[in-house]
Amino acid sequence: MPTLIRNGRIITAVDDYVADILLENGRIQAIGASLSAGADVTVVDAGGLYVLPGGVDCHTHMENTFGDSTTCDTFESGTKAAAFGGTTTIIDFAFQNKGTSPLEAIARAQATAGDKASIDYGFHVIVTHVDDKVLEDMKVAIRHEGVSSFKMFMAYPNTVMVDDAAIFRAMRMVGQHGGMVALHAENGTIIELLIKEALEQGHTSPRYHGLTRPALMEGEATHRGIRLAELAEAPVYFVHLSAKEALKHVVEARDLGIPVFAETCPHYLFFDDSEYEKEGFDVARYVMSPPLRDKESQKALWTALKTDDLQLVSTDHCPFCMKEGHLGRVRQKPYGEDDFSRIPNGVPGVETRMTVIYDGGVRQNRITLNRFVELTSTAPAKLFGLFPRKGTIAVGSDADIVLFDPNECHTISAHTHHSNCDYTLFEGKHVHGRVKKVFLRGELIVDGDSWLGRPGNGRFVKRGEVGGY
């Protein structure tokens, strides 16, 4: 059934105007002043509300397994949480182990998400092994499967880390075919040494997670990744960039016209490494990689979001519970109670991204309203081959729409959120801005506190060429 959204203030990455929007057959059918509504049209009054394109979060981990631990959000709970936070598309991960093909990984991930996801989704392939066959399959993934980005780890030796030659080979191949490598940039072997030394000295508490992953080693890996991409003549994307020591290499490369892109995440924008100075295991809630950085880095990240040295904000939603056994989940944060290196790395964030970036970014005058939309929707859609289907409000685009009340306040809490995770980093934070209604391809899936979405209703979205933003 068609829906007419009346009188909302439409905000895109470049526009800001009041108009009506007609949603029909899953698409935006018309935009204009005083559109007429037939008898079959549901009319929604959006007076006083912002009308935003649905959020695109290009870095989530739903039911992903790392080592012995699996993230506590399934595609069902995680996409519902995302929807309540105003996100209508996620890009998650398909995991290629040694001996398996990227194509098998994509098929497996699709089977996992297929009947659970309630918003649209795509995948990056995590590539942990490169040979001629894998490279050939990556080409097929880009050309035929709509999977055009590949995450590679410069950290976590003996599990997912790949060497520079593997990264270079992958970059060279995907760069020729419209794909892009996304790097987790930390120097894995140095970090491994520092962890070993810390444990040998009896330093087992979570605060040592931060102390053994120095910002300099994120900077080193970022610089190395850029040089590899330059040599491969390929674009490169840095996930979860956290440190000013890494940012400076991205800025330098972009100033030289090298196609380097990077995201940061809300946790790096709102928290700093002073959290690691606290005593006790509760610090495990801040165990993510890279870890929280100093206040200067935080300031530099906000500036870079404004100046487009950083292109977007994703969440790296990778939730593990603080309580063992919560909702039946095991090997969560307490798994590393006696050894910080066993604490599963990652934090929740998919449900709070839009609101905290609006509240802390737009309301604090760090970014404009248009830039907020660009960072949370348009830029990820453009960079990862989803635009103009996703990421904007335009005739013909998917009718993924968020009605957002900029003035309504609420307090963020794990007691009221929809994720399976038993905590949020933003517990008790009072924010301005609330998601009121969410439409996915024209269908109302969030209506205030009511959930109208359906598991399995999310669609896998094939993505086009990436890295050309």
80 counts as binding Zn ion under rule CB under 5 A: no
CB 20 within 8 A of CB 31: yes
* Phi, psi for 65 (deg, rounded to 5): -105, 125
Q: CA torsion angle for 269, 270, 272, 277 (degrees, to 10)? A: -160
346 counts as binding ligand URP under rule CB under 6 A: yes
Amino acid residing at 116:
K
| Residues 414-447 as b or e (16 or more Cβ within 10 Å = b) | beebbbbbbbbbbeebebebbbbbbbbbbbbbbe
**339: number of Cβ within 10 Å:** 15
**27: number of Cβ within 10 Å:** 17
184 counts as binding Zn ion under rule CB under 5 A: yes
Identify what 345 binds: ligand URP, Zn ion, none; CB under 5 to 8 Å per kind.
ligand URP
Least Å from the CB of residue 149 to ligand URP: 13
- Which of 12, 74, 128, 289 is in the footprint of ligand URP by CB under 6 A? 289
Closest to 314 in 3D by CA, of 451, 454, 149? 149
Least Å from the CB of residue 160 to Zn ion: 9
CB 259 within 8 A of CB 233: no
Least Å from the CB of residue 27 to Zn ion: 31
- Which of 243, 318, 343, 381 is in the footprint of ligand URP by CB under 6 A? 318
Across-strand partners of 114?
A: none
Site map (CB under 6 A) of ligand URP, residues 147-176, x = contact: ------------------------------
What number of chain residues touch Zn ion (CB under 5 A)?
A: 2
User: Between 137 and 316, whose beta carbon lies closer to Zn ion?
Assistant: 316
User: Collapsing DSSP states into helix, strand and coil, what is residue 253?
Assistant: helix
Of 100-129, which residues contact Zn ion (CB under 5 A)? none
Lookup: tokens for 204: 């087992």
User: Between 19 and 318, whose beta carbon lies closer to ligand URP?
Assistant: 318
**Residue number with the smallest Cβ distance to ligand URP:** 345
Site map (CB under 5 A) of Zn ion, residues 304-323, x = contact: ------------x-------
What is the widest separation between alpha-carbon atoms in the chain?
Answer: 74
Closest to 154 in 3D by CA, of 245, 290, 267? 290
117 counts as binding ligand URP under rule CB under 6 A: no
Least Å from the CB of residue 240 to ligand URP: 6
Site map (CB under 6 A) of ligand URP, residues 359-398, x = contact: ----------------------------------------
Least Å from the CB of residue 233 to ligand URP: 26
User: Between 29 and 297, whose beta carbon lies closer to Zn ion?
Assistant: 297
288 counts as binding ligand URP under rule CB under 6 A: yes
User: What's the rounded Cα separation, in Å, for the pair 110 and 232?
Assistant: 30
CA 386-106-376 angle, to 5 degrees, is 30
63 counts as binding Zn ion under rule CB under 5 A: no
263 counts as binding Zn ion under rule CB under 5 A: no
Q: How far is CA 467 from CA 25, 178, 256, 327, 433, in A?
A: 30, 8, 17, 39, 31
Closest to 33 in 3D by CA, of 17, 19, 45? 19
184 counts as binding ligand URP under rule CB under 6 A: yes
345 counts as binding ligand URP under rule CB under 6 A: yes
User: Between 156 and 404, whose beta carbon lies closer to ligand URP?
Assistant: 156
Chain positions contacting ligand URP, by CB under 6 A: 61, 184, 240, 288-289, 316, 318, 345-346
Chain positions contacting Zn ion, by CB under 5 A: 184, 316
